[in-house]
Amino acid sequence: MASDALLAFEQVSVTFGRHGRSRRPVTALDHVSFAVTPGRSLGIIGDSGAGKSTLCRTAIGLVEPGEGRVIVDGSDLSGAPASAWQRARRHVALVFQDALGSFNPMRPVLDGIAMPLLSYADLGGAALRRAVGEVMEQVGLQPSQMTRYPHEFSGGQIQRLAIARALTTRPRLLILDEPVSALDVSIRAQILNLLIDLSRDLALTCVVISSDPAVVHYLTEETLVLFAGRVVEAAPTAALFARPRHPYTVALLAQRDPGIALHEQGLSGARAQTRLAVEMSGCRFAGICPRELPRCRDEAPEPTPLGEGRMVRCHSLAAEALAGETRKG
Ligand SMILES: Nc1ncnc2c1ncn2[C@@H]1O[C@H](COP(=O)(O)OP(=O)(O)O)[C@@H](O)[C@H]1O
Ligand SMILES: [Mg+2]
């Protein structure tokens, strides 16, 4: 695993106890590994329920993994006390999925933006306002608006405010959980372009979570595909979108192409399956997969390297890769 990683997960598993009607535990993350290195933003795609938000919360210490290691800036923080996580959150900031809900409706946005800063610095009065004004300018808002209340801002502006708050501690890594999914299509591009500008101007690396693959395609250098708590494919973003390999990734990306009706079916099946699949012992995509082999139902596929920094978990693709190597000699 890269030693200069800003954030790394090593075999991280998270299980929530006695969930839902079945009262059985849900494995929201199952042995998830990845590393984010400076300048190579990471996208995470997958349907609702795949474990994306759980991954975000685990990355900043709000959820404690049952197994594995979470490494922030080279320090293993698994099981670390709250104070260690508090220090780490200065460098790794999360913009939550519900931006509006993360601001107190009864307080001016100044208070909400300043919150992370107050845990590190004993700032007050003019210095605090200066710091808040600075991050508001960075996200394209007028500092004079800091005394307004959340309801006085549009959806796009609220998202900008949430990003401003994350920037107050000058993090090196910004995790964005569904940064544009609540926004009108016309506003989305503005926020995506803001994120591109911020990454460049502030030397920020991002982890971008989205159920819309196009967002990840636009913003990131590396992509993970999460299905029912497992990483089924990992690859450089350009390569993954040019040629998705895992049958689930193929279905997920094909939803933008109305010509591929067969894949659409696969995808709706995948969505229905996500909730059940966490209890399956074999490949979680078994039963709806067009490439299924007999062993897929009982045996979880291990990661298979495909070259050029790509990895896939699929018995069928592993067999194909092996056959290719055998042919080569
Ligand atoms: N606090 C929690 N308690 C119990 N189950 C949870 C909790 N948070 C998430 N889950 C379950 O974990 C799975 C993954 O959820 P989540 O991480 O929110 O997925 P995503 O963000 O990809 O939609 C789901 O089955 C969800 O119901
Ligand atoms: Mg989520």
Per residue in 137-187, pLDDT (tens digit) is: 999 999 999 999 999 999 999 999 999 999 999 999 999 999 998 899 889
Q: 16: Cβ below 6 Å to ligand 1? A: yes
Longest dimension (CA), the chain: 72
pLDDT tens, position by position, 195-222:
999 999 999 999 999 988 999 999 999 9
pLDDT tens, position by position, 99-118:
889 999 999 999 999 998 88
With CA atoms as reference, report the closest residue to 252 among 43, 32, 57, 29.
Answer: 43
Q: Which pair of tokens denotes residue 81?
A: 């006390």
Q: What is the distance between the alpha carbons of residues 143 and 135, in angstroms, rounded to a whole number?
A: 8
How many angstroms separate the Cα of 34 from the Cα of each of 47, 99, 162, 175, 296?
19, 26, 26, 14, 24
Domains with residue ranges and CATH for the chain: 7-91+171-242 (3.40.50.300)
Nearest residue (CA) to ligand 1, atom 8: 54
With CA atoms as reference, report the closest residue to 154 among 206, 190, 197, 114.
Answer: 190
Residues with CB under 5 A from ligand 2 (ion): 52-53
Ligand at minimal distance from the CA of 98 is 2
Residues 6+ apart with CB under 8 A from 75: 84, 88
Q: What's the pTM?
A: 0.91
Q: What is the pLDDT of residue 257?
A: 47
Ligand at minimal distance from the CA of 226 is 1
**Mean pLDDT, rounded, of the chain:** 88
* pLDDT average, residue stretch 120-134: 85
